[in-house]
Amino acid sequence: MSIFSKGDKIDISSRKKWFIIGVIIAILNPIFSGLVVSFGFLTEPELRKEGKILLVISFVWAIILAYLIEWLKSGGYLM
């Protein structure tokens, strides 16, 4: 894993690897980390498509988690 700064561009060894890492981060912590990683991807021209996908995953998963937590609280499973 190497990141070399070349002017305004960052050369990342594997785009797919970084995208998978971003998806995992977005799933584990969608609100803060997922959004930060997706906005970081959006700033790089080569990673804009992956950044948009991560942004959508972060928002959708955050909404699902919010509803799931409320449902579990109403069922008495969480206090």
How much is the pLDDT for 71?
93
What is the domain partition of the chain in residue ranges?
14-74
Asked whether residue 16 carries a pLDDT value surpassing 70, the answer given is: yes
Angle between helices 33-42 and 48-74 (to 10 degrees): 160
Alpha carbon 46 to chain centroid, angstroms: 16
Name the token pair of 32. 């803060």
Can you give the pTM of this predicted structure?
0.67
Q: pLDDT tens across 20-72, in order?
A: 888 888 888 877 888 888 888 888 888 889 889 988 988 898 899 999 999 99
20-45 exposure pattern, b = at least 16 Cβ within 10 A, e = fewer = eebbebbeebbeebbbebbeebbebe
